[in-house]
Structure 1
Amino acid sequence: MKMKSIIKACAFACAFVAPAMAEGGMFEGALPENWTADVVAAVRYNWYNFSNWQKDGTSNYTWLVTYDADVQGKWKVANWRNLIDIDLGQTWTKGVGKRKSNDRLFWESMLDFNMTEVLKPYIGNRFETQFMKGYEYSEDEDGNEVRTAISSFMDPAYETQLAGLAYVPNENFSQRIGFANRMTISNGYGYADDKDTEKFEKFRDEPGLESITEAKYAFSDIVSFKTRLWAFCNFEGVEKIDGLWENLLSVMIAPLVELQLGFDMAYDWDLDEDTQYKSMVLFGLTWRWF
């Protein structure tokens, strides 16, 4: 009965949301004329259970909730843009247990001053952290799993103040470069600590230069691509540069079903001297708000 109720609820939700999705979003037309928004929420869930299954297979489940918002208000003097990215996911595998698969809370707010049509001085603020605890897994001498916490909500957290000049020739491309003061907050796990000093530091300020390159392109009404390249270099030297390159291709299969292909590449000198990579293929229910 429980599974039947879930299926009925999903069918009802699909019937309710699908007409709005076909028109561009559930709340399409609700914003003032000088505001634009691209807001998408998604839920993805996979579940496999094996019992006396003679072929190879391991019971597992994976869930992922995402919220991606790009909201901008435009006036004669200035434009105000807010980016929000929320990702939270977990995987369970029989014999291994639960593992965090995705965990991000990101908010960026930019105020562009319309000096010319394409050149815009800007100020802004960015905040980044995670929701759940992160762990490092190892084994003791007896082969038992040892779980060691290495991160949590607000540890680390990154707060960045921005000011610079943006080149925005059209709605699909922008290049920003300017001053950034990046503050790392870490109360217990040492992400802000300077190992060369005896005192344990919970806060660290890094003034430096920052570059943000963004591009997006809609191949059709159902296929779109966006990319963002962020780089930060503090004033201590170029060898301590941080960077994140994000790429996402989205294909709308049906009004409530979307396929996403993503590839991210990151480098953070404070965390690891090697480049980090992440690739993903996501398929699930998608609710477009705008």
Structure 2
Amino acid sequence: MKNCLAALILILSICSTKLYAQVIDTIPINTKDLNIKLKRSPLPSRQGPLNFEPVKIPPFIVNAKVNYWKTKTAIGINVNQAQFSNNWKGGGVNSVAVGGLLNWKAEYNKNNYSYVSEVILQYGKIKNKDQLQKKTNDRIFWDNKASFQLSKNWFFFGSVNFESQFDSGYRYFRDNNGEEQQVLISRFMSPGYLTESIGFEYKPNKYFSTRIGTGTARQTFVLDTAVYDNKQNVFGVDKGKHFRNELAFQVVSAFDKDIFTNTNLKARYAMFIPYEDIAVKRVDHRLDVALTAKINRFMNTSLTGVILYDMDTDKKVQASQTLALGFAFVFPR
């Protein structure tokens, strides 16, 4: 028994020595540049089917409303004053001038339909020493246009606009005593114009458009007979009547763009051709131009001008021009 135990201990000692020598004698081999190919298993491999399960994602509701309206309001106030002492040798007249402008525009766009409404209100007055008060500006203009898009640049439109003035207008002259006198020549709704038009509009971009009103009607109102002043016809309305209706072909072009930094150019040209007077080639033209430069947040300077040719008011071209510096407020900012 002792011999067997001794033999077992000897065998375990020999095995332990071999294992230890095997660990110690192991030499690592660098296989970086060796072309070693692993033998492919001859047994076929098979992957199980991929199962996709739908995942329900709860909808996220945004509590917001789309506003298809866009509005803009501009208010301008201009003040001009001059004062001279009695012994001022350079000459001059004491004067005070005040002018105001309100421009409101609302625009609605949804799908192929659009609607634009614009209101322009202008009024100005000047008072020179030893002279009567005189207007420098006076206009009421309200334009409404609804259109439906036919193609990329063409629209079918219908429009209605109204135009008149706030205050009475006078013609001034001096009598034999050198005193300044005035004669009434216009008043609110004397004249007043209401124009309805349907046709096609060409609008290649946001700042330019041209309306071609193939079916246009214009009503001219003279509600105060005092403006006739011994005349038988004023503004195309015969004395004793207060209303005149005309059917015509009309073209209206509009341009509104910032041509420089803080400088805006706005122009509107209207051509009116009455169908009944095509033989005599009577064409009315009106061009309104306004160039406005922004000085800072609350101040700007503007140069405006009007060129008018209307045989019902005068057979010559009429023109007016105004240069103003004042305060301006635009909403929303």
Alignment TM class, shorter chain as reference: 0.7 to 0.9
Partner of 1:140: 175
Q: Does residue 162 in structure 1 map to residue 197 in structure 2? A: yes
CA contact (8 A) 2:121 2:140 kept: yes
Query: Amino acid of the residue matched to residue 182 of structure 1?
Result: R
CA contact (8 A) 2:94 2:129 kept: yes
Q: Distance in 2 between matches of 1:235 and 1:129?
A: 23
CA contact (8 A) 1:193 1:202 kept: no
Per-residue deviation, 1:249: 1.4
Q: What SS does structure 2 have at the residue aligned with 1:62?
A: strand
Partner of 1:89: 124
Q: Does residue 250 in structure 1 map to residue 286 in structure 2? A: no
Query: Amino acid of the residue matched to residue 70 of structure 2?
Result: T
Q: What SS does structure 2 have at the residue aligned with 1:205?
A: strand
1:266 paired residue among 308, 317, 323: 308
Partner of 1:106: 141
Q: What SS does structure 1 have at the residue aligned with 2:178?
A: coil
Q: Deviations over 1:79-125 (max 9, x none)?
A: 00011110011001112221011000000000011222311111111
Unaligned 5+ runs, structure 2: 1-64, 229-233
Q: What SS does structure 1 have at the residue aligned with 2:219?
A: strand
Partner of 1:281: 323
Q: Distance in 1 between matches of 2:236 and 2:210?
A: 32
Q: Distance in 2 between matches of 1:263 and 1:130?
A: 17
Which protein is richer in strand relative to its size?
1
CA contact (8 A) 1:252 1:259 kept: yes
| Superposed counterparts of 1:1-290, under 5 Å | 33-55=67-89, 56-178=91-213, 179-187=215-223, 188=225, 189-190=227-228, 191=234, 194-195=237-238, 200-238=240-278, 239-290=281-332
Per-residue deviation, 1:32: 6.3
Q: Distance in 2 between matches of 1:108 and 1:219?
A: 24
Q: What SS does structure 1 have at the residue aligned with 2:190?
A: coil
Bigger Cα Rg = 2
Q: Deviations over 1:252-274 (max 9, x none)?
A: 10100011122221111101111
Query: Amino acid of the residue matched to residue 81 of structure 2?
Result: W
Per-residue deviation, 1:35: 2.4
Relative to the length of structure 2, the TM-score reads 0.73
Per-residue deviation, 1:194: 4.8
CA contact (8 A) 1:192 1:201 kept: no
Per-residue deviation, 1:192: 5.5
Query: Amino acid of the residue matched to residue 83 of structure 2?
Result: N
Q: Deviations over 1:111-154 (max 9, x none)?
A: 01122231111111110110111111123333333211111111
* Cα RMSD for the two superposed structures: 1.9
Unaligned 5+ runs, structure 1: 1-30
Q: Distance in 2 between matches of 1:118 and 1:262?
A: 30
Per-residue deviation, 1:280: 2.0
Percent identity between matched residues is 24
